[in-house]
Structures are given as C-alpha cells and as structure tokens.
Amino acid sequence: MRNAALTLGIIGGIMAIVIGFFSYGYTEVIDTYGEIEGLAEQVERRELIRFVSFMAPILAIAGGSMARARALWGGILMLLSAGMMLYAYDFGVFTMFPIGFVALGGVLAVAAGKPDEEKAHF
C-alpha cells in the first residue's frame, strides 16, 4: 500500500502542477491584459487560486515521496493537498484525476502499516 500511495501521490502531484500552471497563468494574463466581457473574466478567489496552484502540487509530491518512510505524515500531506485542490478548483473534468489520485494515495498511506511492526503509526 505504501508503494501505491507513493505512485499515486507523485503522479497526482505532477498532474496538479499542470493545472497549477494554467490556473496561475490565467489569473496573471487577466491581470495583465484585462478582462474580455463574456469570454475571459477574473476569478473571484484570485489569491486562493494562486496559493493553491503553488502549494497543492508541492504537498502532493512531498507526501507521495514520504509515503514509504513516514506513511502517516505523507498521507496527511496528500489529504491536505487533495482538500486544497477540491476547495479552490472544485471538482471538474480537469481536476477529477489529480484530486482522486492524491486523495486515494493519502487514504492508502494513512491506512498502511509496516508488515513487520505491531502498530501501524502510533
């Protein structure tokens, strides 16, 4: 389960980077060139979008990378990343896979325990 959490976290984080580039870039283009009525308008939560565009991929990749050694911490980071993406971007056609991959990786990491230890995390 730890290897699956690692893989899902890193793949989901890479997909979140792509979404983050486009989201941050969109807000920057609208700030620079202005809105086009009915075609391109500024989002309401511009600073939130920019913050999540930067932080969510970092948390997802870091959580995925930590999943083998520190599964609980990595799982919490991945679940936090998935929650941030869900809150900022909502659930849509371009966000469903990054949110799903990172959230599933977080759940698997939290549920994982080393086979040779009596206790999973505590």
What residue spans define the domains of the chain?
A: 2-111
Average pLDDT, the chain: 90
pLDDT tens readout for residues 24-82? 999 999 988 888 887 888 888 999 999 999 999 999 999 999 998 889 999 999 999 99
Is residue 13's pLDDT more than 90? yes
Output the pLDDT for position 56.
97
Output the pLDDT for position 116.
44
Which whole-number Å values give the CA distances from 26 to 43, 63, 65, 116, in the listed order?
Answer: 9, 27, 29, 49
According to DSSP, the residues that pair with 36 across neighbouring strands are 40
